Amino acid sequence: MLALLLSACAKQSPVEPSNAVYFWRTEFRLDSTEWTFLSRYQISTIYCRYFDVVMNDTTPIPNATLAFADTIPAGVAFVPTVYITEDCMHQWHEGLARKIVDRVVQMNATNDIRGIVELQMDCDYTDRSRRHFYTFLEQVRSEARRHGMRLSVTIRLHQLQMPAPPADYGVLMLYNTGDPRNFEQRNPILDHRDVEPYVRHLPDYPLPLAAAYPVYRWQRQVQGVRIEHTVEASEILGVKKMVESMRPDLSRRIIVYHLDEENINRYDNDTYEAIFHH
Amino acid sequence: MKRFSIISLLLVLAVPAVMACMWVDTHNYYLFRIYDNSEFKERVDQVTRDNWKAYLSLSADDYFSFNADDVAEAALKKGDNLMASYVRQLQRYLDCVDSKRREQYSWDYPTKEEIAERNATLAEVRAYAQGKLTTRLRSQHALLFMRCNMMLARHGENVTFWEQTASNYIETVYKDMMKNIYAGALLKTGHGVRAGQIFAEQGDWESLMTQYYQKRSYDAICQEYNRDPQSAVLPFLLQDFVNNVQEAVDGDGYGKLFVRNIERKEAMQMVQLAARAVSENKTPCPAMWMSAKAWLEFLYGDLTQAKTDISQATALDGTEYMKDCARILQFYIQAMQMPVNTQYDNLVSTELQWLMPKAKEGGSYRSALDRIIHQALFPKYSKAGRQFTALALLKTTDNYIDNYLDEMTPDSLQRYVDYVKSPAPTDVDRLVKPGLTIDETWLSDLMGTQHLRLGHWKEAIPYLEKVPLDYYNDKGYAIYAANRSYTVEPWVKRQWLSYGLEWSHDPVALSANPKLTFAREMLNMEKDLKRLKGLARQQRCYDLAVRYAQANHTGDCWFITHDGKGAYDKVGRNEMDFNAKAVELLREAAQTSDFLLKEKTLFALAYWYLNDEPWFQRKWSSNTGTLVTYPQPQTRHYQSWEALLNFEAANPGRTSTYIQRCDEYQTFKRVYNKN
């Protein structure tokens, strides 16, 4: 019993070192630039959004399901990722965990995707939704294990203040850190001033962590005005330095969000080398 | 005052959030509209619906949507076996599309076998359709064939089929749809340029936006122009670019820090390109380029060049839509710049005679008229002292001008009535005045109310006497008028209506004209005030203060002076400040030596709505994670509470229960004693 308690209290082992990318489009098709990127930066893991789960009146349903139009790169770990909107967790939905895992498994089977050993859940959970989300994660984890998959989960900065979710490891999302309504003062994708208040939670955060950095452009219309956000390379690298100084194991697995030709061309080789520096 | 303090706090807290949601129409519609925006998808949908309606001999009201069973049944009755067979196959195809669509949102993701089955069905339908290409319904079957190819990702076959076969068919809506599928197939097979041309020619703006979403910059437009100055995509790209510039220039408070730099530098590059396009004479629509040039110049303040260029644009070639756009831009630019005089009147009447009938059809002409009137004509005529012409113009855009009339002085309102009833003085007035009408009862009520707002009781009475009671019974505020009294002291009791009463739809029957009763009572009470002295005068001051506070827009009897009530209401332009008058009267009443009257008066002076600034500020403390109250001793509100506190201290144990129970007062005392 004592041994069991001790093992439960002990920190889990850190994540395996690797370079990784998120794939966040609705059609899985890679162009030559993207293939080259995977190879050049020795990307060994692709976290691939399979579908979203959103509320439809009172029931959660899948949305924006990925269509597979290309083969999965050989020798790369493929991690199905499901984004679930926070309002789905405002109340309890019996059987949701199983539906999600079954759907992921079916998508793998239908599209001949083999060797999947991990599932990732992504949710901007808050104090309001945390209780349901953690119970839900327990169930997802149990269902995923039945299919030989471990569970990882995204962690937003504000979520560092909460108890850690029941998962095998977390991916610290170092993007979407600001308030999009306040974009005149801060870059809503990433601004070190928005990260600073949370870094004190990093050393003691009980879950093994990987780090995900933004390389994307965010274009949107605000009252008709085309607003465009991108992050300077120096800002990304500055934040990387800041968080790794507080939590050195954040340099073990580094993920960029997200794989796309335009994003690849946005930064030079030196920047990507620096981002993927372990 | 429990309720009052809760409401007050809510107001304080709610303001920033509500402000963020407030939306004001800037009337800043795009004027650079160079093509008909009607969407391809809607057009073909309308034609196919009409075709089915005609085939089924149904009226518009009886036809809802395509139903294969209904059409097959009708076809068999007509002995049209080919049509019956076609719609059954069409339904099989539509079921496959539905199944594919459901993949997006159904928990049951299809298995390999189900997908294979769906593809097999599509292949069967495809084969069937291919076998009917020589029948009289060959266009319909050819479309079905191409649709199946699209679903089966046989895009190359669609390209070949269109080019070799379907492009030779007669012109029908089915052929339009096939061409659209062909464009999609071209895009999928790496021939984006040709695809874009077809989407543009067909007016399939949705597909164009998908295709060109990331390519709407000067560089992309320049590249497209260099590739083909006659490219059908150029109007789409140019319109999008120019209107984005307008958005960037307008700013509307959303700073430019991260706005894509589509501002001066890129816009000026586009000006250069437009000039080149016109001078090279390779474009079939120089009017479009010259209009773009003029509008960009105007947006960046080069008014002289803009005026010259837009004048030139109106004489250049282009589609009718482009020429109309040039004329609208010229009207706007001139209307914004010229002084109001006879020449201005001539311009306005000529252009309005042209634009107003077009605006009746809606769409971009209507929004152009709206913008020209709101941003150019209304302010210009108002500033030139022709306020009524300005109002008549505003009315032509179906805008509500009652707010303007409501805010006028009684004298101005009378002049407005004279304007409406007399012959039009100019051509512009002749054009727009027919939209103005006067209802005599409405006028009497408004005249009377405007005098009430100014405290002119005597002048208000003759107007209000002309208004029948039924007029007020029909007003939205009748329920409040029937259930509230202006004699109740608002600082002691708020006259909330029960939910059931407030939202009841039962008709209201007032026993008297509430405004008239008020006006007569105020007239008599103020007449008496002059001869009263001592306690009687102080009591009268207090009673009058109660009435002023009630009839103010913040009072429970706001309906005496206003038709509606809102959280952001302020003392209007031509109104007396009733709350200020109430404070003045209360101050005189506070001189009394009568204990109860003094107590009531001091309490009244601390009433939330009689004070412009609250006695405290509440700020969020990140240290404690709570709202902290900071007293504001410099405010009149604070000083009023302090005066009551001192009064209580001087009269220990004597203050009334309603004061002791006021939670706002208790809060003040706590904060006061702490500091």
User: Over the stretch B422-438, which tens digit does the pLDDT of each residue have?
Assistant: 999 999 999 999 989 99
pLDDT for position B23: 39
Please say whether the dihedral angle defined by the alpha carbons of residues B565, B570, B573 and B578, taken in this order, is positive or negative.
positive
Total domains in chain A come to 1
ipTM: 0.91
- Token pair for residue B56? 């089924």
Last residue of a domain, one of B172, B202, B232: B202
Lowest mean pLDDT among A163-167, B451-455, B539-543, B659-663: B659-663
Label residue B115 by pLDDT band (50, 70, 90).
Answer: very high
- Does the pLDDT of residue B262 top 80, yes or no? no
Task: Verify that B529 and B488 share a domain, yes or no.
Answer: yes
B625's tokens: 């994670």
Q: What is the pLDDT of residue B22?
A: 37
Q: What is the predicted pLDDT for the residue at B591?
A: 97
Judged against a pLDDT cut of 60, whether residue B5 lies above it is answered with no
3-state secondary structure of B316: coil
Chain A hits for B209, Cβ within 8 Å: none
Do A228 and B103 make contact, defined as CB atoms within 8 angstroms? Answer: no
What's the CATH code of the domain at A194? Answer: 3.20.20.80
Least confident of B12-26, B52-66, B398-412: B12-26
Q: Let me know whether B643 and B596 are in one domain.
A: no
Range of the structural domain that residue B640 is part of: 616-674
CA A152 → CA A84, A209, A210, distances in Å? 14, 10, 10
Helix ranges (H only) for B152-263 are 155-164, 173-188, 192-202, 205-212, 218-227, 234-250
Cβ-based interface (< 8 Å): residues of A facing B: 56, 61-65, 99, 102-103, 106-107, 109-110, 181, 183-184, 187, 219, 222-229, 262
Residue B10 has pLDDT above 60, yes or no: no
Minimal CA separation from B209 to chain A, in Å: 14
Residue B580 has what DSSP assignment? H
Contact at 8 Å (CB) between A96 and A121?
no
Residue A103 has a pLDDT of: 98
Give the mean pLDDT of B124-149.
98
* Contact criterion met (CB < 8 Å) for B105 and A226: no
For range B249-274, the mean pLDDT:
67
Q: If pLDDT is split at 50, 70 and 90, which confidence band does A220 have?
A: low
- DSSP lists the bridge partners of residue A75 as none
Please list every residue in chain A whose beta carbon sits closer than 8 Å to the beta carbon of residue B257.
Answer: 183-184
Query: Mean pLDDT for chain B?
Result: 90
Nearest-CB residue to B259 (from A106, A109, A225):
A225
Q: Which of the four pLDDT bands, split at 50, 70 and 90, describes residue B187?
A: very high
- B111: closest chain A residue by CA: A110
CA proximity to A151, closest of A123, A129, A174:
A123
Position B638 in a domain: yes
Closest by Cβ to B254, choosing from A65, A219, A223 = A223
Is there a contact between B105 and A106 if contact means CB atoms under 8 Å apart?
no
CB-CB under 8 Å, B106 with A62: yes
Q: Which of A73-87, A185-199, B146-160, B169-183 has the lowest mean pLDDT?
A: A185-199
Lowest mean pLDDT among A182-186, B188-192, B357-361: A182-186
Q: Which of A110, A181, A226 sits opposite B111 (nearest CB)?
A: A110
Asked if the model's pLDDT at residue B261 lies above 70, the reply is no
Q: What is the pLDDT of residue A264?
A: 94
> Which residues from chain A sit within 8 angstroms of residue B105, using beta carbons?
56, 61-63, 65
- Minimal CA separation from A249 to chain B, in Å: 31
pLDDT at A31 over 70: yes
Identify the three-state secondary structure at position A198: helix
Give residue A188's pLDDT: 82
More confident of the two residues B341 and A181? B341
Residue A175 lies in a domain: yes
CB atoms within 10 A of CB B316: 18
Domain count, chain B: 3
Distances (CA, A) of B656 to B595, B638, B641: 10, 20, 15
Report residue B500's pLDDT band, with 50, 70 and 90 as the boundaries: confident
Question: In 3D, which of B152, B158, B48 has the Cα closest to residue B93?
Answer: B152
Statement to judge: residues B71 and B152 lie in one domain:
yes
More confident of the two residues A67 and A4: A67
**Average model confidence (pLDDT) for chain A?**
89
> Of A99, A110, A224, which has the smallest distance from its Cβ to B110's Cβ?
A110
Q: What pLDDT, on a 0 to 100 scale, did the predictor assign at position B516?
A: 98
Last residue of a domain, one of B546, B573, B606: B606
Res. A66: pLDDT tops 70: yes
Residue span of the structural domain in which A208 resides = 16-275
Substitution target from A108, A223, A235 for chain B, most B beta carbons within 10 A: A223
Task: Collect all residues of chain B within an 8 Å Cβ-Cβ radius of residue A225.
Answer: 247-248, 250-252, 254, 259
The answer to whether residue B56 is domain-embedded is yes
Q: Which of B558, B587, B606 is the last residue of a domain?
A: B606
Same domain, B538 and B593: yes
Does one domain contain both B567 and B658? no
| Chain B contacts to A (CB-CB under 8 A) | 20, 103-107, 109-112, 115, 214, 244, 247-248, 250-252, 254-255, 257-260, 262
- Reply yes or no on whether the pLDDT at A166 is more than 80: yes
Q: How far is B475 from B470, CA to CA, in rounded Å? A: 9
User: How many CB pairs (< 8 A) connect A and B?
Assistant: 66
Confidence of residue A182 (pLDDT cuts 50, 70, 90): low
Q: Give the pLDDT of residue A183.
A: 59
Q: Which of B258, B261, B367, B622 best probes binding to A when mutated, by most A CB atoms within 10 angstroms?
A: B258
State residue A37's pLDDT score: 96
Is the per-residue pLDDT at B559 higher than 90? yes
Q: Which residue has the higher pLDDT, A13 or A215?
A: A215
Quick one: how far is CA A2 from the chain centroid? 35
